[in-house]
Amino acid sequence: MRHARLPASEHIALEDVFHALSDPFRLGVVRRLAVEGEQSCQALEGDRPKSSVSHHFRVLREAGLIRTRNEGVTRMNALRRDDIEQRFPGLLDCVMSRAND
């Protein structure tokens, strides 16, 4: 995996976060990671093409919402909950509270 641009917490931009969360698939990934914790790409991709999933994960990483690490040949994804909460207090709670809408 190439090293993706992962912004420092103080450089996470609200407009990038909102853009990333505007897509239903990416919003679902964030919600699943918030509830279930770290997950592999494969566990999160469902029946989507790999190229599409790679794009979505890149958008989430570049927005500062997730961190991806390699574990052998598996890519593991985790929500940057502490960084997001520090930068935008209450944002993830708001996103999670709307999970049934």
Residue 4 falls within a domain, yes or no?
no
Residue 1 falls within a domain, yes or no?
no
Residue 16 falls within a domain, yes or no?
yes
Mean pLDDT of 11-29: 95
Report the phi/psi class of residue 84: left, alpha or beta, with left for phi > 0 and alpha for psi in -120 to 50: alpha
Mean pLDDT of 39-64: 90
Domain total of the chain? 1
- Give 2's pLDDT tier (boundaries 50, 70, 90): low
Q: What is the tens place of the pLDDT at every residue in 70-96?
A: 999 999 999 999 999 999 999 999 988
* pTM for this prediction: 0.89
Range of the domain at 78: 12-96
Residue 5 falls within a domain, yes or no?
no
What is the rounded average pLDDT for all residues in the chain? Answer: 90
Residue 2 falls within a domain, yes or no?
no
Residue 3 falls within a domain, yes or no?
no
- Give 1's pLDDT tier (boundaries 50, 70, 90): very low
Is the model's pLDDT at 4 over the cut of 90?
no
Q: Buried (b) or exposed (e) across 39-51, using 16+ Cβ within 10 A?
A: bebeebbeeeeee
The confidence score (pLDDT) of residue 5 equals: 75
Closest of 42, 4, 1 to residue 20, by C-alpha:
4
| Ordered DSSP codes for 36-93 | H-SEEHHHHHTTS-HHHHHHHHHHHHHHTSEEEEEETTEEEEEE-HHHHHHHSTTHHH
CATH number at residue 82: 1.10.10.10
